[in-house]
Homo-oligomer: A and B are copies of this chain.
Amino acid sequence: MTDNYKSKKVISIGVVKELTGLSERQIRYNEQRKLIFPERTANGTRKYSFSDVETLVEIAEKREEGVQSFEIRKEMLKDKKSKEGDSQMRRKMIRGQLNAHFRSNDRS
């Protein structure tokens, strides 16, 4: 009836920090790398959506596997296209390989 709660930007960085377990520095860094796009209030405070929070968690998981921002951004675009809630599956496939750099094209 009204809006899409999941994509509405209303969460401040402090809450995002608690929700994701990431540091403010890490959260802001992802914005700098163009991986998330929080809005700003009149005075400049960042506001995130639940969607952003989910994305941040996914990014953190990939980064732990050694994937760089550069690659993560590409994967996110691909995910957006195949419209599947699949990053979960790919993550499991990657786990065990020890380093994601060996995958340059995982269409195999």
Besides A10-B11, A10-B15, A14-B41, 6 more A-B contacts (Cβ < 8 Å) are A5-B5, A5-B6, A5-B50, A10-B19, A11-B11, A12-B15
User: What residues of B have a CB within 8 angstroms of the CB of A5 in the complex?
Assistant: 5-6, 50
Q: Enumerate chain A interface residues (CB-CB to B < 8 A).
A: 2, 5-6, 8, 10-12, 14-15, 19, 41, 47, 50, 54
Q: Whose C-beta in chain B lies nearest to the C-beta of A42?
A: B18
Query: Closest CB of chain B to A49's CB: distance in Å?
Result: 9
15 contacts between A and B (CB under 8 A): A2-B54, A5-B5, A5-B6, A5-B50, A8-B50, A10-B10, A10-B11, A10-B15, A10-B19, A11-B11, A12-B12, A12-B15, A14-B41, A15-B41, A15-B47
